C-alpha cells in the first residue's frame, strides 16, 4: 500500500461495545426509537443546552461521523413515531448505538444529581409533600413537561395518555430511574438490550 494512501473509513470502535440485535433490515423498531428519544428528552430537561452537550459528547466519543451536527441529531430523534415532526426515515443500528452511548455518557456525568433527585422524589412522596418544594426536582419536571408537550403529537394515543402534569411527572421520574440504571455496572449494555426486548426476530 502506498505510504500516502488515506486510511480506510472504519466504524467507531466504541460501537462494538453494544451487541448486534437480530432485527429486520428496516432499522430499529418503533418502541426502540421512542425509548431512545424519551431518554434524550429527559437529559435535555436535566441539562440546559442539552442538544449542544450531546454534540460535544459525540465529538468526545468519536461519533461525529454518525452525528455530524444539530440537524442530523434532530432528524435521528424525529424517527420517534410519537413526535409532531415524525419522519419515516429509519434509524439504523449504528445510529441507535451512537445515541445510546451518548445518553449513557451524559447520564454518568450526572449520576450524583440523578441519585439526589430520585431520593428527593421518594422522600417527598412518602411525606406527601408537593414536589414543588424541591427546587431542582421541580425545575426538571417542569422542563420535561414543556419539552414533551411541545414535541410530541397529542393526536397519538400513546401521547394522549399523558394528559396531566401528574402523568408526565410519573414518566419523567421513570426516565430518571432508567438514566440511573444506565450508570451502573454494564448499565449501557443492559439498557441497550432492554430496548429490543420482545422485538428481536
Domain assignment present for 172: yes
Tell me which residue range forms the domain holding 147: 27-183
Domain count of the chain?
1
38 touches 70 (CB < 8 A): no
- 114 within some domain: yes
Pick out the chain residues at pLDDT < 70: 1-10, 24-25, 198-201
Q: Is residue 14 part of a domain?
A: no
Q: Is 166 domain-assigned?
A: yes
**Per the domain annotation, does 60 fall within a domain?**
yes
Query: pTM for the complete prediction?
Result: 0.89
Say how many CA atoms lie within 13 Å of 146 toward its Cβ. 9
Residue 3 is assigned to a structural domain of this protein: no
Alpha carbon 92 to its chain centroid, in Å, reads 15
Residue 184: predicted pLDDT: 87
Position 10 scores a pLDDT of 60
In angstroms, rounded to a whole number, what is the distance separating the alpha carbons of residues 172 and 7? 44
Amino acid at each position: 500500500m502506498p505510504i500516502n494512501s488515506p486510511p480506510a473509513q472504519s466504524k467507531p470502535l466504541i460501537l462494538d461495545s453494544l451487541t448486534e440485535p437480530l432485527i429486520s433490515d428496516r432499522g430499529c423498531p418503533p418502541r426502540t426509537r421512542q425509548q431512545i428519544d424519551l431518554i434524550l428528552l429527559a437529559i435535555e430537561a436535566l441539562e440546559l443546552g442539552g442538544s449542544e452537550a450531546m454534540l460535544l459528547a459525540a465529538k468526545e466519543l468519536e461519533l461525529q461521523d454518525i452525528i455530524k451536527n444539530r440537524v442530523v441529531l434532530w432528524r435521528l430523534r424525529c424517527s420517534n413515531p410519537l413526535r409532531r415532526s415524525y419522519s419515516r426515515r429509519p434509524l439504523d443500528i449504528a445510529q441507535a448505538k451512537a445515541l445510546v452511548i451518548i445518553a449513557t455518557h451524559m447520564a454518568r456525568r450526572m449520576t450524583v444529581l440523578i441519585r439526589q433527585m430520585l431520593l428527593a422524589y421518594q422522600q417527598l412522596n412518602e411525606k406527601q409533600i408537593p414536589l414543588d418544594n424541591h427546587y431542582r426536582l421541580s425545575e426538571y419536571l417542569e422542563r420535561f413537561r414543556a419539552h414533551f408537550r411541545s414535541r410530541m403529537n397529542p393526536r397519538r394515543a400513546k401521547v394522549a395518555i399523558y394528559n396531566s402534569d401528574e402523568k408526565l411527572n410519573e414518566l419523567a421520574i421513570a426516565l430518571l430511574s432508567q438514566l440511573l440504571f444506565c450508570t451502573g455496572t454494564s448499565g449501557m449494555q443492559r439498557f441497550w438490550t432492554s430496548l429490543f426486548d420482545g422485538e428481536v426476530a
